[in-house]
């Protein structure tokens, strides 16, 4: 696992830095664990554009990941570590005792042939899944459920993990990757260790065309538009906008609090990330 640079024979490859894919052991995905993935181009169900800068991109198949921890009480063996075009993390193809294969998010150091276990009796080893009440204080965990049985929601991207800091009356104090500390039920499942492919943050696309492969289109600055298209548009010559930065619909973009009151969720936050 690491990155490699190109020999700079073109301007686009001069600054490009890509993953070396050294941990990948299987090129084709498991056919039974894939599904079609339709692109929206940033449009909603009425065909109206709701997200800008989306469109094009390479065709992908979705990999069905077992975020629900459906194989509780079973042992499995990692058959292969694969690339997933839909996320920054690698995925592991695990074959369990009952013969069924599932995809899991690959932990740091996951290798083909490694045994994994999901359940209350799992050993304290990286890659094993268990309830938070069994995780030692100070341990790193990823793919954490927010409520028991809801499926993994927290810490799923490359190189990320949360830290179990304390236990408190049926809850666990979790320090999130953002720095936020929140209470999570001790019955929620999580996987020990941290997500693999930690070198993802060092990748450099190198050229604009690479962004287009990923389905990201160019975005115009507000001050470069006409007044009919953006509140910051227009002006004689080059103008700097003349007001606080805002969206095309006039909402302030820097510093305006947009979070709605989520009383059930807010009560679980011990320390904000800021």
Digit-coded pLDDT (tens) for 21-35: 999 999 999 999 999
- Give the integer Cα–Cα distance in Å for 101 and 173: 33
- Give the integer Cα–Cα distance in Å for 122 and 148: 18
Give the containing element (helix H, strand E) for 265.
helix 263-266
- Give the integer Cα–Cα distance in Å for 193 and 12: 36
Task: Grade residue 117 by pLDDT with cuts at 50, 70 and 90.
Answer: very high
Residues of the chain with CATH 2.40.50.140: 3-201
**Mean pLDDT score of the chain:** 93
Residue 241: per-residue pLDDT: 87
Residue 146: per-residue pLDDT: 93
Residue 262 has pLDDT above 90, yes or no: no
Residues of the chain with CATH 4.10.950.10: 224-274
101-121 average pLDDT score? 94
Residue 155: per-residue pLDDT: 96
58-67 average pLDDT score? 96
Residue 1 has pLDDT above 80, yes or no: no
Task: Grade residue 75 by pLDDT with cuts at 50, 70 and 90.
Answer: very high
Q: Is 96:102 a contact under the CB 8 Å cutoff?
A: yes
The single-letter DSSP state of residue 161 is: -
- Lookup result for tokens 């990948």: 24
CB proximity list for 86: less than 8 A, separation 6 or greater? 37, 60, 62, 63
Residue 261 has pLDDT above 80, yes or no: no
Residue 274 has pLDDT above 90, yes or no: no
Which CATH number does the domain 3-201 belong to among 2.40.50.140, 2.70.160.11, 2.40.50.220, 3.90.550.10?
A: 2.40.50.140
Which CATH number does the domain 224-274 belong to among 3.40.630.30, 2.60.40.420, 1.10.10.10, 4.10.950.10?
A: 4.10.950.10
């Amino acid at each position: 696992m690491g990155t490699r640079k190109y020999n700079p024979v073109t301007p686009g490859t001069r600054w490009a830095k890509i993953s070396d894919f050294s941990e990948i052991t299987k090129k084709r995905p498991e056919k039974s664990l894939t599904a079609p993935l339709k692109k929206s181009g940033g449009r909603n169900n009425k065909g109206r554009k709701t997200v800008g800068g989306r469109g094009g991109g390479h065709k992908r198949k979705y990999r069905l990941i077992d975020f629900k921890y459906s194989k509780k009480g079973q042992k499995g063996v990692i058959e292969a570590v694969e690339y997933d075009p839909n996320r920054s993390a690698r995925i592991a193809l695990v074959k369990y005792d009952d013969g069924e294969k599932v995809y899991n998010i690959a932990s740091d150091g996951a290798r083909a042939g490694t045994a994994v276990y999901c359940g209350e009796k799992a050993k304290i080893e990286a890659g094993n899944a268990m309830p938070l009440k069994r995780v030692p204080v100070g341990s790193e965990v990823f793919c954490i459920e927010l409520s028991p049985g809801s499926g993994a929601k927290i810490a799923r991207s490359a190189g990320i993990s949360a830290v179990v800091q304390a236990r408190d009356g049926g809850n666990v104090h979790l320090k999130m990757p953002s720095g936020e500390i929140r209470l999570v039920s001790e019955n929620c499942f999580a996987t020990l260790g941290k997500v693999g492919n930690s070198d993802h943050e060092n990748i450099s696309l190198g050229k604009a065309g690479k962004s287009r492969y990923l389905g990201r289109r160019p975005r115009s600055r507000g001050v470069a538009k006409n007044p009919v298209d953006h509140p910051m548009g227009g002006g004689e010559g080059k103008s700097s906008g003349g007001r606080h930065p805002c969206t095309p619909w006039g909402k302030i973009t820097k510093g305006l609090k947009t979070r709605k009151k989520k009383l059930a969720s807010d009560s679980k936050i011990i320390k904000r990330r800021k």
